[in-house]
Amino acid sequence: MVRRRGINARAKLTLSYLVVLVVAEALLFAVVWVFLLRYVPNQAVVSPDGFFPGRADLIRAFAPAAFWAAVASLAFGALGGWVLAGRMLAPLDRITVATREASRGSLSHRIEMSDRNDEFGELAHSFDGMLDRLEAHVEAQRRFAANASHELRTPLSLTKALLEVAGSDAEIDTVELHARLRQVNDRAISLTEAMLTLSRADAGGFAHEKIDLGLAAEDAVETLLSLAERSGVEVQLEIDDTAVLGSWSLIRQLVMNLLHNAIVHNLLAGGFVRVRVWADGCDAILCVENSGDPLSDTLLATMTEPFQRATERVHATQAGVGLGLAIVQSIVRAHSGELRLAARDGGGLSAIVRLPRAT
């Protein structure tokens, strides 16, 4: 919708200055009349001591000079107000240009008004920060869409290839074909469910309820205990009573993802996974740490990105879709929490989740 352009802000400010100036001059003239002229006799007085002009004489002498002085002051006020208003509103032009560039899709343009420490500088700084976050979010969404398309295309292409081979080979082992198709289909379902969970966490549209974080950790350990036993990983659990506000299903998914990630990337003989829950002031802390391969700082910085895997070494048949830690990050962010990943001395990962406690 195109808005009809009215009087610009510069003209409005100039008119405001003129109105204030007119009111001030009117008050001045009123003061002159009330406290001076009305006490002067209307007629001139001639006495041996001299000539004393009357009120009419003073008005005739004062009025023309006062009129032209008022006109000159109004003209000077209009010119000065126009110049001052232009200098004051100059930052708005830069902000408007940046806004128009952003509306056209150019999110790389910045106002860069660090030389001002007033309200305009604060507005420009906030706007630049918003553009930084928006540009990063859009870029992340583009990468996610491209990676998701690639990840979804892989099982579909593999299914198509298997079906084409089955159609051209009458002696193919249908049992093996069924097993491979089921495996590919399970992977596609897991990927789709992970993407839906990630989208739900990013949207933040869930009901908040009081959740026992220790109980969620116990439930996740019980669910994945058989996987840990098959992988030869010992799971240690240390929990204290502490509660958070949020979604039970998302909090449980958070713990499940951290625990599953710790198990499948734990290839050391006699490896362990330690899950701890405790309260720290106003926060509830969940710590999942595991033994494993040494991790570099470069890898740690990208582990929460979608479709980024911690390592390529995982237990057989346990390769994930690369969304586990990305989902954890989104769930933590949706619950106003903080996720910190750190490499353990001697190898492995330490994941610490800090969530606000339920009062």
Looking up residue 180, the CATH number of its domain turns out to be 1.10.287
**Full domain range(s) for residue 92:** 9-106
Tell whether 218 and 320 lie within a shared domain: yes
Report strand pairing: 209-212 vs 272-280: unpaired
Q: Which two tokens stand for residue 126?
A: 């906030």
Whether residue 316 sits in one domain with residue 187: no
Q: What is the pTM of this model?
A: 0.56
- Whether 323 and 215 map to the same domain: the answer is yes
Does residue 227 belong to any structural domain of this protein?
yes
Secondary structure class of 277 (helix, strand, coil): strand
C-alpha 89/C-alpha 83 separation (Å) is 10
In three-state secondary structure terms, 330 is: helix
List the structure tokens of 111. 């106002």
DSSP 319: -
CA distance 266 to 256: 15
Do 234 and 339 have their domain in common? yes
- Is the same domain home to 171 and 252? no
The count of domains in the chain is: 3
Are both 181 and 237 inside the same structural domain?
Answer: no
Q: Are residues 142 and 75 in the same domain?
A: no
Cβ-Cβ contacts under 8 Å for 308 (sequence gap 6 or more): 302, 322, 325, 326
Q: Are residues 329 and 239 in the same domain?
A: yes
For residues 180 and 311, membership in a common domain is answered with no
Which pairs with CB-CB distance under 8 Å and at least 24 residues apart come from 251-255? 251/211, 251/213, 251/216, 251/331, 251/335, 252/216, 252/219, 252/220, 253/197, 253/327, 253/331, 254/286, 254/327, 254/328, 254/331, 254/332, 254/353, 255/216, 255/217, 255/219, 255/220, 255/286, 255/288
My answer on whether 35 and 69 are in the same domain is yes
91 and 179 both lie in a single domain: no
pLDDT tens, per residue, the chain with 359 residues: 445 666 777 888 888 888 888 888 888 888 877 777 776 777 666 666 666 677 777 777 777 888 888 888 888 888 888 888 888 887 888 888 888 888 887 777 788 777 777 788 888 888 888 888 888 777 767 766 666 666 667 677 777 777 777 777 767 777 777 777 787 777 677 667 666 766 666 666 677 889 999 999 999 999 888 888 888 899 999 999 899 998 888 888 889 889 988 888 887 777 899 999 999 989 999 999 998 888 888 888 778 776 665 554 444 444 455 677 888 888 888 888 999 999 888 888 999 999 999 87
User: What pairing do the DSSP bridges indicate for beta strands 234-239 and 272-280?
Assistant: parallel
